[in-house]
Structure 1
Amino acid sequence: MDETAKFRTQADDLIRLVAVLDPINVVAHGEDGIISHWSAGSAELFGWSPDEVVGLHVMELLQPGSSLDIAAIIADIRTGGAWKSTLEYRHKDGHAITVLSRWVLSEVDGQPVVIQLNEDFRSAASIQESLSAREAHFRSILQTVPEAMVVIDEVGVITSFSSTAEDLFGYEADEVEGENVRILMPSPDRESHDRYIVNYLTSGQRRIIGLGRVVKGLRKDGTTFPMELAVGEAISNGRRIFTGFIRDLTSRHKIEEELRQAQKMEAIGQLTGGLAHDFNNLLTVISGNLEMLEMKLDDPRALTLLHEAQGATDDGAKLTGQLLAFGRRQPLNPRLIDLGQLVSSFSELIRRTIGDSVDLRTTIRGGGNEALVDGPQLQNALLNLALNARDSMPSGGLLTIEVNRVHLDFDYAQMYPQLRAGDYVLVAVTDTGTGMTEEVKNRAFEPFFTTKTAGSGTGLGLSMVYGFVRQSGGHIQIYSEIGQGTSVRLFLPAASGGTAALPNDPGRRAAELPGGHETILVVEDDARVRRVAVARLESFGYSVCQAANGEEALRVLERNPGIALLFTDISMPGLSGDQLAKIVRDIRPDIKILFTSGYAEPEVAGKQLAADGRWLKKPYTARDLALELRSLLD
């Protein structure tokens, strides 16, 4: 091929290349700066059409902000292969355009031709800013969405982990990002998860994606919890990503369990009440016939047998009376009674009944402790509770009976089925005994359920107390920890002088309460109580961190240096509230501490509060909490 044909071929190649690049911002010019090609992309970027600029000098037309030596640039290109710089060119209407300009060199007919590729820098920066804004927006969503959010790739590796997920699972984000999501799952889901993903990617068969289900999660400390999992799918850069939204169902499950327990107790009460009523009719017939037989018998041996039968009939009548009490069918004779005076006058009998090994302490707080109740039945209930407490303290201990007027607000009342907000007189019977397991607490009010040995009791004591309180329009709770003791609390509707047993109306709230903007750490092992405490504090304006136990609280404290106050339950499994407070005192002596307890007095649980520690007794009202917080923080 001769040189002329070679150059012609090069020129044709260049023309074809420039034609292909026409939509892009391409400018071609010679060593003298005279423009030979002006692409459609350049026309759109700078405002001049090709007919207007071909033959003009590129520097005179675009007027870069800094003087450019085209010959020097061509020399650099021949040395380095290319040249690039950020330039400020002029638009046709006069405004400046910042471009990232890349120059390469070609030859046509033996003459050097410079090809400029100009990228609108503002557009690239705008795209980058948009991406940064989108990422910031995503991060904001990730940190504020109320449900925990976990993002994984198509092989199950965690790529994002929200702050709510950190609180829920107990891991920091940097601990799990890069790990397989199996780390958050108990068996058998842990072993099967990768197979689920592979099966979905190959067959499209869905188990959770787009469907949602209730599964179990695994925390860092090894505990499991129920959760609702919804998984969405998206494709990014040709790869699938899966976003899981997780809702903790622990609190909801507990409330549902409370409701099921209440419904079960209602059903058992109806059954036992009906049976007791029918059985009483039978006992009446038996007792009547025995009385008539007694008048006709003279044989001493026969009379002895008859008296034994009459004694058994009397025992049967007492038993049916207890069943009727549980079934809320016992006859009550309610009268307006000051429960403080009743307990004070009755305490001496309780003291003699429980013996010398148990120290009895009676506390009557304030006045206004009148309630409409059957006095003898309440005394019978207190005696049953005192005997149970004595039996839980075989080596002796402390028994406290406390009476005071309390107000249960809407937030507290909504945690328990059948409980209405209003004013109550609380009678709390608290011991320092062995405590109850969760299983025992859940069944404690069932008739004939007992943890005592055979022949030591009928198992009707607590069920009778339950029936009496419910029939009186009140509410009964058990607060207990293994090795810490038990507190049985009777809430009896207060008489006049307040708002007694109002319907659950969220509009009936206290007047404006003092709040603040400090950060408070709430530590409570009961998820329902923790939820209410957090909601109250947030309504006061505080920033709130929360933890389910002492160990988790220390991790939260480490992550949040701005915490001003620790609000903790005293008795918790593992690291107790007072132990947690001592550690916090050592590492953060500036933090204020507010305790809460279901016991009558903190020392009943064998706890010595940390220095400057103040405490609220459960149940506490929103007003009690608000005022105590400001008292500490101010």
Structure 2
Amino acid sequence: MKSKLTSDHSLGEIVRVLDGANIIVHGFDGVISRWTTGCEELYGWTREEAVGAVAHDLLETVFPVPLHEIHAHLRQHDIWAGDLTHRHKDGHVIVVAGRWVAVRSEAPSDLVIVETNIDVSALKHTQTDLIAREAHLRSILNTVPEAMVVIDETGTITSFSPAAERLFGYAANAICGENVRCLMPQPDRDAHDGYLSRYLTTGERRIIGYGRVVTGLKKDGTRFPMELAIGEAIANGNRIFTGFIRDLTSRHRIEEELRQAQKMEAVGHLSGGIAHDFNNLLTVINGNLEMIERRLDDVKLRALLREAQDAADDGAILTAQLLAFGRRQPLNPKLADVGQLVSNFSDLLRRTLGEAIELRTIVSGAMNRALVDASQLQNALLNLALNARDAMPRGGRLTVEVSPAQIDADYARMFPEVRSGSYLLISVTDTGVGMPPEVRQRAFEPFFTTKDVGAGTGLGLSMVYGFAKQSGGHVQLYSEPGQGTSVRLFLPATAAGKVHEDPAATESKGVADMPKGTETILVVEDDARVRRVAVARLEDTGYRVIQAAAGAQALQLLAAHPEIRLLFTDIIMPGGMTGDELAKKARVARPDIKILFTSGYAEPSVAGRELAAEGSWLKKPYTAWELAIRLRELLDERSGSLA
């Protein structure tokens, strides 16, 4: 391309006519030959000061690319444009949009550059400020726990915050452009457009407001309570609505647990008071029966009297159970080896269960010492064994396991009444009929029973609950219909009982010391609270986590994400597919995948699952350390080894 030809006179005439513009004429050596009045005003240098100086030195020019590349571009194309940074005579920075044109004068070797500059400093400052504000806003949205969803006046989603992605399960790029109805269950889904249309037409503020509690719908179909606050704004003449959403699931769960605890406490006080009064009545009854017995010679009447005494003794046992539930039963705690105590008690349990039920006693650890009332502990075990026997009318297996346990801060946060620390765990697990959710929820309530009239008082589990709480411990129940039941009794361990404690499970070591990884792990857990804790633990140690609430969803994710290295799944899950069935199908599709099971039962084989028994598994509650170590053991194995 040929450079434009112009005479020196013509060039001077152009500069004179455009004197008010910012025009600099200089050679390829940068020496200024013409300097307009506009440049004097923009840069502060007079024409006399500028002409003859090197432009790049005078203005301290900062180029976007090396100067020699600009010169080469000009020789080939005649024109170059780009942003430049100059400095005013007083030192402040000026950003200009520069346009350089190579002009050839009448002498073929005389090539000059006509440089025109437009001051864009204010625009650059505005852009920089806008970028900073956007970054600040994005950091806020990424940090704030509340989800944010923005819609237009047609209900179309235009913005979806990271918190909203985590809450609803949709990716922003997939949900933007869809109608916000997809985040609502019926009947709100059908009613939403009517609310929006009515507001736009009449101004009726059904959709605007703060603190409204509504129901949300996640991508996986889960409904959840949420608090919704909606604001309105006008942007570029268009109306937009911004909704801030707070997940109330945890709050409702805590409120329900608090109500349940208050109810149990109230019933405990009531039952304790009744038991004390009833004990007074029994004292009178037993005393009078004893005095009558001394004066009674009739054999037939003595038989009737003994029946009355037996009934009074049963009443005394009943009041003892009421007192235990109300935490008013006087305990006589002594330092005892719980493992030895349970082993010695096994013979009585075996006779109680009968021949149709196999009893297995497992004691882990050399020393399992706790400060406990031995008779009350045996009474609790007997009640649990009787319940298990009734749940296995055609026989089965009962497993009693004693082992050290560590409850860490993550587990304690899920159950507000539990403190972290060292415990002795006594698990009583049966292979019986199990409990549906509605029964499991009320299992520890006094007088609640599913047995026939006259077959039980409904105080067995409530007595166990009261004994554990009064001993400073904790009780947890795992049960699924058809899968059996596991009652787990946590008793605070004494210092001597910590001998077996795994150093990796202690709270003294921080997250920084844990074994870490970067692999992708699929977590499958139907309990949302447990799943959230597992995901948080894995992400804290560097893993990429994909999560599912059921087996069918997990298989879909496994097919869509070939990068998944390990499947971490609960064994017992509702929805038609158990954890070991999921593992079998996963291994068919991905023979190389590692599998780690978790279970609230005493052992995986309690559900009759051979694969679960063969595989690696963690017993709930597991600590973050136990999970981190087990993952690395599996992931660092050779590819051909079994998980």
TM-score, L = length of structure 2: 0.75
Q: CA RMSD in A?
A: 4.3
Q: Please state how far the C-alpha of 1:633 moved relative to its aligned partner.
A: 2.4
Distance 1:177 1:392 in 2: 52
- The aligned residue for residue 607 of structure 2 is 605
Q: Does structure 1 retain, via aligned residues, the 8 Å contact 2:233–2:241?
A: yes
Residue aligning to 1:569: 570
1:514 matched residue in structure 2? 514
CA distance in 2, matches of 1:586, 1:516: 28
Query: For the Cα contact (< 8 Å) 1:232–1:243, is it kept in 2?
Result: yes
Residue 555 (structure 1) shift = 5.0
Aligned partner of 1:81 in structure 2 is none
Counterpart Cα distance in 1 of 2:120 and 2:627: 58
Deviations 1:546-605 (A, max 9, x none): 333334444555665544333222212223322333343344444432221111111112
Code of the aligned partner of 1:513: D
> For structure 1, which segment, 249-258 or 267-276, has the greater mean C-alpha deviation from structure 2 after superposition?
249-258
Secondary structure at 2:286's aligned position in 1?
helix
Distance verdict in 2 for CA 1:605–1:173, change over 3 Å: farther
User: Displacement, 1:328?
Assistant: 1.7
CA contact (8 A) 1:100 1:120 kept: no
Residue 177 (structure 1) aligns with: 176
Structure 1 counterpart of 2:451: 452
Q: Which amino acid aligns with 2:509?
A: A
- What displacement does 1:217 show? 1.1
In 1, the alpha carbon distance for the partners of 2:515 and 2:343 equals 39
Partner of 2:582: 580
**What corresponds to 2:628 in structure 1?**
626
The answer to whether the aligner puts 1:225 opposite 2:227 as a matched pair is no
**Letter in structure 1 aligned against 2:569:** T
Q: Is the CA contact 2:551–2:578 (under 8 Å) kept in the aligned structure 1?
A: yes
CA distance in 1, matches of 2:610, 2:250: 30
CA contact (8 A) 2:522 2:566 kept: yes
| Aligned residue in 2 for 1:381 | 380
Contact 1:422 1:499 in 2 (8 A): no
Cα distance in 2 between the residues matched to 1:497 and 1:420: 19
Aligned residue in 2 for 1:493: 492
Question: 2:528 aligned with 1:527, yes or no?
Answer: yes
User: How many Å separate the matches in 2 of 1:173 and 1:559?
Assistant: 18
| Mapped contact 1:99–1:121 kept (Cα < 8 A) | no
**Residues 129 and 552 of structure 1: is their aligned pair in 2 closer, same or farther, counting only changes over 3 Å?**
farther
Q: 1:543 to 1:222 in 2, by over 3 A?
A: closer
2:240 maps to amino acid: I
1:581 and 1:625 mapped to 2: Cα distance? Answer: 18
> How many angstroms apart in 1 are the aligned matches of 2:354 and 2:100?
94
Q: 1:180 deviation in Å?
A: 1.8
Structural mapping, 1:211-250, within 5 Å = 211-250=210-249
Q: CA deviation at 1:263?
A: 2.4
Larger deviation, residues 540-549 vs 211-220: 540-549
- Work out the CA distance in 2 between the residues paired with 1:223 and 1:400: 35
1:203-602 → structure 2 map (5 Å cutoff): 206=205, 209=208, 211-297=210-296, 305-497=304-496, 509-510=508-509, 513-518=513-518, 519-557=520-558, 561-574=562-575, 575-602=577-604
Question: Counterpart in 2 of 1:110?
Answer: none
Identical positions, percent: 64
Mapped to 2, the partners of 1:586 and 1:607 lie a distance apart of: 17
How far apart, CA to CA, are the structure 1 residues paired with 2:419 and 2:144?
Answer: 32
Distance 1:601 1:478, change over 3 A: same
State whether residues 385 and 429 of structure 1, in contact with CA within 8 Å, keep that contact through their aligned partners in structure 2.
yes
SS at match of 1:509: coil
> Cα deviation per residue 1:376-432 (whole Å; 9 max; x = unaligned)?
222221121112112222232221111111121222223223322221111100112
Paired with 1:409 and 1:598, the residues of 2 have a C-alpha distance of: 16
1:594 counterpart letter in structure 2 = L
Shift of 1:436: 1.5
- Partner secondary structure for residue 328 of structure 1: coil
Q: 1:96 to 1:182 in 2, by over 3 A?
A: closer
The 1-side partners of 2:271 and 2:281 are apart by: 15
- Alignment CA distance shift 1:138-1:44 (3 Å): farther
CA contact (8 A) 1:537 1:544 kept: yes
Larger mean CA deviation between 426-435 and 543-552 belongs to: 543-552
Check whether the contact 1:392–1:435 (CA below 8 A) recurs between aligned residues: yes
| Distance (whole Å) between structure 1 residues aligned to residue 195 and residue 214 of structure 2 | 14
- The separation in 1 between residues aligned to 2:268 and 2:495, in whole angstroms, is 30
Q: State the Cα distance separating 1:194 from its structure 2 match.
A: 2.3
Question: Secondary structure at 1:212's aligned position in 2?
Answer: strand
How far the C-alpha of 1:477 sits from its partner, in A, is: 0.7
Residues 586, 175 of structure 1: CA spacing in aligned structure 2 closer, same or farther, 3 A cutoff?
farther
Q: Is the 8 A contact 2:362 2:399 kept in 1?
A: yes
Q: Distance in 2 between matches of 1:583 and 1:231?
A: 45
Question: Does the aligned pair in 2 maintain the 1:262–1:417 contact within 8 Å?
Answer: no
The 1:440–1:610 alpha-carbon spacing in structure 2 relative to 1, beyond 3 Å, is closer
SS at match of 1:497: helix
Q: Which residue identity does 1:261 align to in structure 2? A: Q
Q: Which is further off, 267-276 or 555-564?
A: 555-564
Q: CA deviation at 1:609?
A: 3.2
The TM-score normalised by the length of structure 1 is: 0.76
Counterpart of 2:513 in structure 1: which amino acid? Answer: L
Distance 1:141 1:337 in 2: 55
SS in 2 for 1:349: helix
Letter in 1 for 2:394: S
337-346 vs 511-520, greater mean Cα deviation: 511-520
* Cα deviation code 1:337-377 (max 9, x no counterpart): 22212222222222222222222221111222111222222
How many residue pairs match? The answer is 562
8 Å CA contact retained: 1:593, 1:612: no
Unpaired runs of at least 5, structure 1: 1-29, 54-63, 70-84, 102-116, 501-506
**Aligned counterparts of 1:440 and 1:259: Cα–Cα separation in 2:** 19
How far apart are residue 281 of structure 1 and its match?
0.7
Q: What amino acid does structure 2 have at the position aligned with 1:580? A: L
Q: Deviations over 1:183-214 (max 9, x none)?
A: 11123322332233334445555456451333
- How big is the shift at 1:141? 7.0
Q: Deviations over 1:497-533 (max 9, x none)?
A: 2669xxxxxx953356323241433322222222332
CA-to-partner distance for each residue in 1:21-43, whole Å, 9 max, x for gaps?
xxxxxxxxx9x996898698x56
Letter in 1 for 2:579: G
Point out the more displaced range, 174-183 or 478-487: 174-183
Query: Counterpart amino acid of 1:442?
Result: Q
> Which secondary structure state, in structure 2, belongs to the residue aligned with residue 429 of structure 1?
strand
Displacement after TM superposition at 1:291 (Å): 3.1
Distance (whole Å) between structure 2 residues aligned to residue 51 and residue 628 of structure 1? 72
Displacement of 1:297 in angstroms is 4.9
Of 395-404 and 258-267, more deviation after overlay is shown by 258-267
Going from structure 1 to structure 2, the CA distance change for 1:364 and 1:178 (only over 3 Å counts) comes to same
Tell me if structure 2 keeps the 8 A contact 1:450–1:457. yes
**1:189 matched residue in structure 2:** 188
AA aligned opposite 1:539: D
Listed as ranges, the gaps of 5+ residues in structure 2 are 1-9, 26-34, 42-70, 89-93, 102-115, 500-505, 637-643
Range with greater deviation from structure 2 (162-171 or 614-623): 162-171
Structure 1 residues 262 and 357, CA, compared in 2 at 3 Å: closer, same or farther?
same
Q: Which residue of 1 aligns with 2:104?
A: none
